[in-house]
């Protein structure tokens, strides 16, 4: 029996999740998890005054977030392993400022969730889960994820199939094969996203997971929990597992993930 864990947990601070931090911990224990990682949407540092994304915590909340998670980690140490992380996009323009900000927090890990392509705030950026047909739409996503992964700070890629490309299937297969191989070569696992499955989003994409199975990527199931109750969805976990097993994929145990990456 696979030891259940989840490294993709949000908190109220991101403005679109509910429940106290403690309630997530209690739910994870009730669900029989061996580890729970908090990876809330991290602050970003856009070089403009007139843009701020609504779906992430503000910089001044990060210290309190870290302290809250560390306090729970100590309090529950005999019941469950708690980890402190962030989910972040890789934005070329703001990445250095971002890293400077997170290093003093001594995180256990970072996961990449590339919700936007470009730098989010600027022209030519686009939301990855909005459909696009042009080859360029897919290319830019793949290129940006690869560039981010080469920084060596990410433990895994959340919903790598968030990009909703509606063009040629042959081209999708080609470019996503590239992406999967890139991740495999760096030993970076890919996340099968439970929230997307529950909400009927464009991800998890059956085509994508056929490709990942063929390439032989390491895979992690991520709850992407935005409420404590989400951690109790063992039915959804079983569905994720079945969809992966049907492709010959077994999710990797936590000990195979690289936490505390060198560059972090």
* Binding interface with Zn ion (CB under 5 A): 87, 224
Sign of CA dihedral 175, 173, 124, 222: negative
Distances (CA, A) of 37 to 139, 197, 241: 31, 20, 19
Least CB distance to Zn ion at residue 87 (A): 5
Residue placing its CB nearer to Zn ion in the complex, 37 or 251: 37
Comparing CB distances to Zn ion, the nearer of 120 and 224 is 224
| CA–CA separation, 256 and 251 (whole Å) | 10
Residue facing Zn ion at closest CB distance: 224
- Least Å distance, CB 161 to Zn ion, is 14
Based on CB atoms, which residue is closest to Zn ion, 213 or 232?
232
Which residues are CB-contacts of 71 (< 8 A; sequence separation ≥ 6)?
none
- How many Cβ atoms from other residues are within 10 Å of residue 183's Cβ? 23
Least spacing, CB of residue 6 vs Zn ion, in Å: 11
Compute the least distance from the CB of residue 262 to Zn ion, in Å: 24
CB of 159 to Zn ion, least distance (A): 8
- In the chain, count H helices and then E strands: 8, 9
Helix (H) or strand (E) holding 190: strand 190-193
Distance (Å, whole) CA 87 – CA 239: 24
Nearer to Zn ion, 109 or 172 (CB): 109
Cβ-based nearer residue to Zn ion, 87 or 89: 87
Sequence-distant (≥ 6) Cβ neighbours of residue 158 within 8 angstroms: 8, 39, 87, 111, 112, 113, 191, 193, 222, 224
- As given in the structure block, the two tokens for residue 189 are 């696992």
Smallest gap from Cβ 78 to Zn ion, in A, equals 28
Nearer to Zn ion, 145 or 172 (CB): 145
- The separation between the first and the last C-alpha atoms of the chain, rounded to the nearest angstrom, is 32
């Amino acid at each position: 029996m696979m030891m259940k864990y989840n490294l993709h947990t949000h908190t109220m601070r991101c403005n679109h999740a509910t429940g106290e931090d403690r309630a997530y911990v209690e739910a994870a224990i009730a669900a029989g998890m061996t580890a729970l990682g908090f990876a809330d949407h991290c602050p970003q540092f856009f070089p403009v005054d007139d843009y701020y994304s609504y779906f992430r915590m503000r910089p001044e909340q990060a210290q309190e977030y870290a302290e809250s998670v560390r306090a729970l980690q100590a309090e529950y140490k005999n019941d469950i392993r708690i980890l402190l992380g962030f989910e972040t996009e890789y934005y070329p323009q703001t990445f250095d400022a971002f890293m400077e900000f997170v290093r003093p927090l001594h995180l256990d890990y970072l996961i990449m969730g590339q919700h936007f392509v470009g730098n989010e705030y600027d022209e030519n950026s686009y939301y990855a889960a909005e459909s696009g047909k042009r080859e360029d739409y897919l290319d830019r996503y793949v290129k940006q994820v690869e560039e981010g992964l080469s920084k060596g700070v990410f433990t895994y890629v959340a919903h790598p199939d968030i990009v909703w490309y509606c063009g040629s299937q042959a081209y999708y297969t080609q470019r996503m094969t590239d992406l999967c191989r890139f991740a495999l070569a760096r030993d970076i696992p890919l996340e099968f996203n439970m929230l997307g499955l529950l909400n009927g989003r464009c991800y998890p994409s059956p085509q994508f997971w056929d490709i990942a199975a063929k390439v032989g990527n390491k895979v992690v199931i991520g709850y992407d929990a935005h409420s404590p109750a989400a951690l109790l969805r063992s039915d959804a976990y079983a569905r994720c597992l079945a969809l992966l097993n049907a492709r010959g994929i077994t999710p990797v145990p936590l000990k195979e993930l690289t936490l505390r990456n060198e560059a972090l």
